[in-house]
């Protein structure tokens, strides 16, 4: 039996160190700036009608505050319990944390390497970050598979349809994506809709895993610039399909990546 769920990934709002281009990683736990709180609220307003069944966040302050800002604006998820997971933390930059981005680039140059491939002393390699992302994603798939089996959601069309409808109303590319799956008579509705709040370098690594390892399909309209680093509170949505007991890897379809139209409201407010 095929299981499908939606995965919405949001980067945290801006911090003072983001603006000053200072490396935070895991060791510098900077809170959101005034702009960062406005961005989180704007993302929350944009997502206000989306029905999430699960919410996960990195356990660092900037992601916790962003998650709170998003859920405060939600019509359906205000009282939802957030699960904080250290696997969603930003890449660890070791001795470069707390230093200017320019300093890390100089370290990389001295080592004969370039960012982001360069790993500062005490930091994580890109492969290590990727493995954290893969571990969390596989955990998520197994969690939803287990919960779906317990609830027998496939025999109840309404809940999954409402999850699908709430996303399709907000994400224009989603309408084509969802109808494409539904045209297959064997395609079930969404078993879950998951919100994840994380960090820029971590998200780039996770999306790279989707694209390279899982051969994630992209909307034809997606420009190359949208595949770069996510802006603060950039929103990306994926539809994940997998089968119980099958050796085959999950298939992932990108609905949108690094969406930032909600940030126009922040510019108007400032």
The residues carrying an active-site annotation are 12, 90
246 three-class SS: coil
Closest CA to 124 of 99, 105, 106, 97: 97
Give the integer Cα–Cα distance in Å for 194 and 189.
14
**For residues 207 and 21, what is the distance between their CA atoms, to the nearest angstrom?**
23
Q: Which residues pair with 242 in a beta bridge?
A: 3
**Cα–Cα distance for residue pair 32/35, rounded to 1 Å:** 8
Describe the strand order of the beta sheet including 192-198 as a list of residue ranges: 83-84, 54-57, 192-198, 2-11, 235-243, 251-259
- Say how many Å lie between the first and final Cα of the chain, rounded: 50
Quote the tokens at residue 249: 């890897």
Q: For residues 266 and 35, is the Cβ–Cβ distance under 8 A? A: yes
Alpha carbons 208 and 138: distance in angstroms, whole number: 15
Q: CB atoms < 10 A from the CB of 25, how many?
A: 22
Q: Whole-angstrom Cα distance, residue 62 to residue 139?
A: 23
CA-derived radius of gyration, the chain: 19
Whether cis (ω within 30° of 0) applies to the bond prior to 116 is yes
């Amino acid at each position: 039996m095929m299981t499908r769920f939606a995965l919405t990934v949001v980067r945290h709002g801006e911090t003072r160190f983001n603006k000053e281009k200072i490396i935070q990683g895991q060791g510098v736990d900077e809170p959101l700036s005034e702009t960062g709180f406005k961005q989180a609220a704007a993302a929350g307003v944009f997502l206000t009608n989306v029905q999430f069944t699960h919410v996960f966040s990195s356990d660092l302050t900037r992601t916790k505050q962003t998650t709170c800002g998003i859920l405060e604006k939600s019509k359906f998820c205000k009282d939802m319990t957030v699960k904080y997971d250290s696997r969603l933390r930003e890449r660890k930059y070791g001795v470069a944390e707390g230093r200017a981005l320019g300093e890390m680039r100089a370290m990389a140059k001295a080592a004969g390497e370039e960012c982001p491939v360069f790993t500062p002393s005490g930091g994580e390699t890109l492969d290590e970050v990727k493995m954290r992302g893969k571990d969390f994603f596989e955990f998520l798939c197994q969690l939803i598979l287990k919960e779906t089996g317990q609830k027998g959601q496939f025999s109840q069309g309404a809940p999954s349809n409402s999850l699908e409808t709430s996303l399709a109303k907000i994400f224009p590319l989603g309408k084509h994506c969802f109808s494409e799956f539904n045209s297959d008579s064997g395609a079930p509705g969404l078993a879950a809709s998951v919100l994840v709040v994380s960090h820029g370098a971590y998200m780039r690594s996770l999306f790279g895993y989707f694209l390279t390892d899982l051969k994630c399909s992209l909307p034809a309209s997606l420009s190359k610039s949208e595949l770069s680093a996510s802006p603060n509170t950039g929103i990306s949505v994926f539809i994940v399909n997998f089968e119980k007991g099958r050796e085959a890897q999950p298939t992932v379809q990108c609905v949108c990546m690094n969406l930032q139209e909600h940030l126009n409201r922040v510019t108007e407010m400032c």
